[in-house]
């Protein structure tokens, strides 16, 4: 089965009341973990790569690893998603490399750290929608900046994130503004700011409704029910994995993530895509540290990569079951990019989603063949 766009998967998730974990990758073992988990649970998957991952792996390696995944697991619908594009050129380069979904994060300026003005966000996101929808590629936007409501501080992870103190207006997505944003950009999915943040250090204590605003999801969804909502920074940071890392020589500080029960509330309220990365990193690191500590004579990379791959697969399977996507793979529509492009042009997803002029994949300043230049 070829890669599929994001929109049909999230439409199916909305119609059937489940969420889909979007899992970040940097290498072959991570992709294998995800695909084995998907096969074991019969789950559709969203595999995503940040700009940092694209630079680390190289686009050509990444593209061919993903092609291998769909060839080896033909029963699994797979979306290949660009996570946190910092500028239209980044998204264009992803489309040229075969990504079937892109995120234009216009909540920050192109430096990926300065909070952007609203009109800037609208303009750059709409530009990406114009290009992407012409080729059937789905688009995720973001409104509001990720950061901690308890401290008011932004966050930076993998070279992306607001820096310094932010206002409450910046840290929480405004429901009324979300309506205008979706109407003017035509996006397929909207990442919302509700107090979550990237990385392992999200909360200093178990989060309450004051610092994790699931109620804001309900407000937003009630106003834009046809745009799929996305939770970023949604790893749960299992305490047993932190303890395992520290047991075998790590020095992680005490921390709390987003409880699975809260994510499940978000799914019931309209969240369809849930970004999970840190949990998998913790599982990998814990497994590798254990091998290094208990079998110091080992030197074959396979001796520690195999258990790390198994550990990540276990987390992926767990989240697929908890988010409700397990067993849903057979029902997901297998739509091609060409079919999606025709649907966008015909207005199936509303007039805002229609590209108003033809674009080709080589437009945009820079237009590098990979993310290396971005």
Domain boundaries, the chain: 6-232+259-276+320-354
CB 244 within 8 A of CB 192: no
What pLDDT shows up at residue 374?
Answer: 33
Which carries the bigger pLDDT value, residue 253 or residue 146? 253
Contacting residues for 175 by C-beta, under 8 A, at least 6 apart = 216, 219, 220, 222, 223
Closest listed residue to residue 255, CA positions, set 235, 275, 280: 235
Over 50: is that where the pLDDT of 370 sits? no
Question: pLDDT-derived band of residue 156, with 50, 70 and 90 as boundaries?
Answer: low
- What superfamily does domain 6-232+259-276+320-354 belong to in CATH? Aldolase class I (3.20.20.70)
Can 210 be counted among the known catalytic residues?
A: no
What pLDDT shows up at residue 358?
Answer: 53
Report how far Cα 336 is from the mean position of its chain's Cα atoms: 21
Closest listed residue to residue 104, CA positions, set 120, 84, 130: 84
Residue with tokens 């709409």: 126
Over 80: is that where the pLDDT of 124 sits? yes
Average pLDDT along the chain: 92
- Tens of pLDDT, residues 34-63: 999 999 999 999 999 999 999 999 999 999
Over 80: is that where the pLDDT of 357 sits? no
* Catalytic residue selected from 83, 105, 279, 343: 83
Over 70: is that where the pLDDT of 359 sits? no
Q: 363: buried, middle or exposed (CB in 10 Å: 19+, 13-18, 0-12)?
A: middle
| pTM (predicted TM-score) | 0.93
Over 90: is that where the pLDDT of 320 sits? yes
């Amino acid at each position: 089965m070829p890669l599929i766009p994001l929109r049909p998967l999230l439409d199916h998730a909305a119609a059937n009341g489940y969420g889909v974990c979007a899992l970040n990758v940097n290498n072959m073992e991570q992709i294998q973990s995800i695909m084995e988990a998907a096969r074991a649970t019969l789950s559709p998957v969203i595999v995503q790569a940040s700009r940092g991952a694209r630079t680390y792996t190289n686009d050509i390696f990444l593209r061919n690893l993903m092609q291998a995944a769909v060839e080896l697991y033909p029963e699994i619908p797979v979306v290949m998603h660009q996570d946190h594009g910092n500028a239209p050129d980044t998204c264009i380069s992803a489309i040229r490399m075969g990504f079937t979904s892109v995120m234009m994060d216009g909540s920050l300026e192109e430096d990926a750290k300065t909070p952007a003005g609203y009109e800037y966000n609208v303009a750059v996101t709409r530009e990406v929608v114009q290009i992407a929808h012409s080729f059937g590629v789905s688009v995720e936007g973001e409104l509001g900046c990720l950061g901690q409501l308890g401290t008011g501080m932004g966050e930076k992870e993998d070279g992306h994130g607001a820096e310094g103190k932010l206002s409450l207006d910046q840290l929480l997505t405004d429901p009324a503004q979300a309506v205008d944003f979706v109407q003017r950009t035509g996006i397929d999915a909207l990442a919302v700011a509700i107090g979550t943040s990237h990385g392992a250090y999200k909360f200093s204590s178990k989060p309450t409704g004051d610092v994790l605003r699931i109620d804001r999801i309900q407000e937003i969804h009630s106003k834009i029910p046809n745009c799929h909502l996305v939770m970023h920074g949604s790893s749960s940071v299992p305490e047993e994995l932190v303890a395992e890392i520290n047991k075998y020589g790590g020095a992680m500080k005490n921390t709390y993530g987003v409880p699975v029960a809260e994510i499940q509330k978000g799914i019931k309220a309209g969240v369809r895509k849930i970004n999970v990365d840190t949990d998998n990193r913790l599982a990998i690191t814990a497994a590798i540290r254990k091998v290094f500590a208990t079998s110091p004579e080992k030197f074959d990379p396979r001796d520690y990569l195999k258990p790390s791959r198994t550990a990540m697969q276990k987390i992926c399977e767990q989240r697929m079951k908890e988010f409700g996507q397990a067993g849903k793979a057979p029902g997901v529509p297998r739509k091609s990019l060409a079919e999606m492009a025709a649907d966008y042009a015909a207005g199936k997803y509303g007039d805002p989603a229609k590209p108003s002029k033809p674009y080709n994949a080589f437009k945009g300043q820079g237009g590098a063949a990979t993310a290396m230049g971005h």
